[in-house]
Structure 1
């Protein structure tokens, strides 16, 4: 977590510091540089995600993390003379290289989690990683502003301070337990077009993982749309300064971090998919309320905090599910393909915000309403396509606050493939407890008379029950 947190901190601190420095030196060219820098950071995720997945599977992930942290340290040391000279081309190249580093680091940091923790702890581990990541993002953004204040005339020293943080992350990476290579003979794919197409086809061959990966990409789409729209929302509708709008983004990030941590704790030894529709419905409710809340700053803060909390509930179980259900030898490849989809979703969010404003003439409040409607569609699709999500949503309060379930021998039930569960049937609650004690969809045999009852029959059919 320390290695991941320092990378998130440095990425955001370095980008923000460079942008603020350029704004101070060349205000007229700032907008052009910001667009160029943003493109330079995102482009590697589109070009190198497939190659990054192959690398993550071919070599031991613990060793790769240490290597990537050493590269990060080298890049920030190179930033010292580049910032001292205020060389714009060198800074753009550095941002591109930092993006490339992140594109390769991302699949490794998530794909290694199932190798370090048990399946039951995946959600908790992802929750902690997400919490520390968003905390580091907030601290990195805030630190950049402080570095500009104190090192405006000596920007090279700021890069040196970030290099020191990278050095601490490198030392932390050396403490990660050794892991074996998942696919030692994996071929490296250097053609981003054909290899990305092949990875997307492979992802489609894993139905549940395929759906979860696209659902996770929607999280990044909504997050990017919220973040970009907040600046326009605050300045146009609320009359706030850009600095005040920046604090709104901090509130949103705090909510996501808190939601990620709580989602991990609520999972209690399992990948708790029941939290996903709860998170999606929260995005609908609080995203929709933002379309009405701009008259009250406190209401906006509350909505952003709760929307962030909901986003954490939505994202953490999906990420853990993808890691758990991906074939071990191809896990880096799957995570890297997910990264490609996530950053594609961010670009689509940018284009969508432009279209909402320039083409459809929607004000920022209406954009939040559209985002809430999109979240409603996704929530419906999750419930329709993956009925076990719906089951866990219905019975999550029952098994968390009324019954205390202790499952013994869960390792005997495979996550995939055929298995027969034979239980002692003493009450109608048995089926609920069995379903909630397992991490896969359980299809029950049931009396046809119950299966065909008009009120509950559609629910039994949606859950795949077998009438006898």
Structure 2
């Protein structure tokens, strides 16, 4: 995996490890939609096919395109794990040229059965490409780049979908020669995609000895079991599939919503699609900025909240609009009420981008590399099934008499219920959201040296203990979950205690006070290390009462005993003393909430790891003190009387 010092996700477009892949994906998504939309318009408006009524053409084309995802995703995931991903992408793009050549014949001859067959084959093309696409990124991008890379791919996909739909609609509408123009465009875009794929760098197989199971049913079940072995990954798959369920309701109903509710023409329907696509793109790009180039799943609850708020407000914004003749885009935009509809739709899509990108990044980073493509294939199957279920449920609700705005209201409320359930079942999302809010909206939190926090494998994180939210700030700084050893008394603090229980923090008591709890705590923490996870510990044994660094206790020695391969990472929280959550007045904390003002600056600095065999309490304290300042300046530095280093 290449390391990079780029400062923006857009810099990836200048690098060979990303740019050819990006443009290959961009052109493929655009060609899919150019072909499908042009074909849909052709059979809806220009042809009269007795066995394919216009009202059913869109549904039939959509179902044919999705069917290969259900049938062949399990096989495509195995292929992506077994073979070099660059070679596989080049094969898929060559296949696209063949399919588009057949489609060109179908357009020239106006042969609907041939074009329907090509829809199925393009669905197969996308099925083969999907697992390769998401398994490719973690082989070439590091943890700091993966969120930005996914954001670029999601943005590019939706922009490409938009451009493909617009191009398909415009080309096919050309009098007399429209189908021929579409045929030429589809072949040209396919050839361009194959040319960009040629420059994709090698991406070696992650499981070359894999024996392909050609049975899609048994392999799909096996893939789901693989994903279920990592609950955070499996529940992220369900979360992404729910997002597609949610989004499919809106995308499928844009034409009817534009016509029946907003009283607009086809151009207004295209405007809705454009606003939705731009919203998704902006939200996807914002992920890297808001996550500070980490995999920040704290954005997922934020995204879910925004999706529900603006879906529900879309109901209130669109109900009761007065009837009128079909409006053009200009007439539509001249009415102020319609701007609220567009704002709701754009913001709904923006928050959907914030919701989905971190989930994709989490799956890529935490899935076993040897099984990554198969787990992504399982995700594609779930996505397809959820989208089919979405179509069936939406049709049933509309058939039962609900209006389209009421359907949006029901989906918005359902999203809130589903999100609440997911966050209770997987509290890591909620905890990261709380850490995100604390570190971005309450403090101005700056992290330095975070490259020293291992991206995989066991490690012990050692930090000074200044406030009741130290653990939350460490969560915000680490892309991986941390299990903390924490004083058992903190679990009795309202709200914070509940939160630390959700985080599965390990309660510990002084050995003299409660030897059983003391021994159980270290046994639990050592089991976490044996599982290859992170453990956080505050070796001072309690919150500082005067802002100075207290002596370190020997618990960390017990923690790494017999584990010489486990590194210990010294860390220091800066400028927290005197804040709302630290003890300051008569030893009390959480009094006078704004005594330091709003958005006060705090920091965390991590130092290079120390090998377990070299660790002593004195050495650790010396290293942490060095991160806070020189020993003779230590009280001033810890107490916050000097500014946090920039």
Bin the TM-score by the shorter chain. Answer: over 0.9
Matched, 1:26 2:66: no
CA distance in 1, matches of 2:449, 2:425: 30
Ranges in structure 1 where 5+ consecutive residues have no aligned partner = none
Q: 1:239 aligns with which of 260, 263, 266?
A: 263
CA distance in 1, matches of 2:451, 2:365: 14
Q: State the shift of 1:153 in Å.
A: 2.7
C-alpha contact 1:276 1:313 (8 A) present in aligned 2: yes
Instruction: Give the match's secondary structure for 1:336.
Output: helix
Alignment of 1:5-24 (within 5 A): 5-23=26-44, 24=46
Structure 1 residues 412 and 237, CA gap change in structure 2 (3 angstroms):
closer
Partner of 1:147: 171
- 4+ residue stretches of structure 1 with deviation over 6 A? none
CA distance in 2, matches of 1:126, 1:13: 23
CA distance in 2, matches of 1:159, 1:144: 10
CA distance in 1, matches of 2:471, 2:47: 67
Partner of 1:305: 346
User: Which of 273-282 and 22-31 deviates more?
Assistant: 22-31
Greater relative contact order (CA < 8 Å, ≥ 6 in sequence): 1
Higher helix share: 1
C-alpha contact 2:134 2:376 (8 A) present in aligned 1: yes
Alignment of 1:45-84 (within 5 A): 45-84=69-108
Alignment of 1:315-334 (within 5 A): 315-334=356-375
CA distance in 1, matches of 2:87, 2:419: 39
Q: 1:441 aligns with which of 481, 486, 507?
A: 481
Matched, 1:132 2:173: no
Partner of 2:384: 343
Summarize deviations over 1:327-352 as a string: whole Å, max 9, x none: 10111100011000001111011001
Structure 1 residues 425 and 371, CA gap change in structure 2 (3 angstroms):
same
Q: 1:170 aligns with which of 182, 188, 194?
A: 194
Q: 2:396 aligns with which of 318, 332, 355?
A: 355
CA distance in 2, matches of 1:123, 1:388: 18
Partner of 1:464: 504
Q: 1:117 aligns with which of 136, 141, 145?
A: 141
Summarize deviations over 1:76-114 as a string: whole Å, max 9, x none: 122222210011110111111011000001110111000
User: Which of 97-106 and 240-249 deviates more?
Assistant: 240-249
Partner of 2:636: none
User: Which of 54-63 and 290-299 deviates more?
Assistant: 290-299
Structure 1 residues 245 and 71, CA gap change in structure 2 (3 angstroms):
same
CA distance in 1, matches of 2:365, 2:278: 27
C-alpha contact 2:34 2:168 (8 A) present in aligned 1: yes
Structure 1 residues 455 and 437, CA gap change in structure 2 (3 angstroms):
closer
Structure 1 residues 455 and 133, CA gap change in structure 2 (3 angstroms):
closer
CA distance in 1, matches of 2:222, 2:163: 38
CA distance in 1, matches of 2:40, 2:176: 12
Partner of 2:185: 161
C-alpha contact 1:445 1:466 (8 A) present in aligned 2: yes
CA distance in 2, matches of 1:196, 1:353: 26
Matched, 1:266 2:290: yes
C-alpha contact 1:124 1:267 (8 A) present in aligned 2: no
Matched, 1:373 2:413: yes
CA distance in 2, matches of 1:55, 1:160: 31
Partner of 2:642: none
C-alpha contact 1:450 1:457 (8 A) present in aligned 2: yes
Ranges in structure 2 where 5+ consecutive residues have no aligned partner = 1-21, 322-336, 509-646
TM-score (norm 2): 0.69
C-alpha contact 1:40 1:95 (8 A) present in aligned 2: yes
Q: State the shift of 1:429 in Å.
A: 4.7
CA distance in 2, matches of 1:116, 1:162: 30
Q: State the shift of 1:202 in Å.
A: 2.0
Q: State the shift of 1:424 in Å.
A: 2.6
Structure with bigger gyration radius:
2
C-alpha contact 2:438 2:473 (8 A) present in aligned 1: no
Matched, 1:249 2:289: no
Structure 1 residues 88 and 119, CA gap change in structure 2 (3 angstroms):
same
Q: State the shift of 1:70 in Å.
A: 1.5
CA distance in 1, matches of 2:494, 2:439: 26
Alignment of 1:413-424 (within 5 A): 413-415=454-456, 418-424=458-464
CA distance in 2, matches of 1:391, 1:135: 33
Structure 1 residues 35 and 226, CA gap change in structure 2 (3 angstroms):
closer
C-alpha contact 1:114 1:323 (8 A) present in aligned 2: yes
Structure 1 residues 49 and 440, CA gap change in structure 2 (3 angstroms):
same
CA distance in 1, matches of 2:59, 2:407: 22
Structure 1 residues 57 and 41, CA gap change in structure 2 (3 angstroms):
same
CA distance in 1, matches of 2:60, 2:107: 17
Matched, 1:187 2:208: no
Count of aligned residue pairs for this structure pair: 466
CA distance in 2, matches of 1:51, 1:445: 44
Structure 1 residues 152 and 59, CA gap change in structure 2 (3 angstroms):
farther
C-alpha contact 2:172 2:178 (8 A) present in aligned 1: no
CA distance in 2, matches of 1:230, 1:37: 17
Structure 1 residues 456 and 340, CA gap change in structure 2 (3 angstroms):
same
Summarize deviations over 1:371-391 as a string: whole Å, max 9, x none: 111111122123212222222
Q: State the shift of 1:307 in Å.
A: 0.1
Structure 1 residues 385 and 440, CA gap change in structure 2 (3 angstroms):
farther
Summarize deviations over 1:437-468 as a string: whole Å, max 9, x none: 11222222222222113443222212222222
Higher strand share: 2
Q: State the shift of 1:428 in Å.
A: 4.0
User: Which of 76-85 and 325-334 deviates more?
Assistant: 76-85
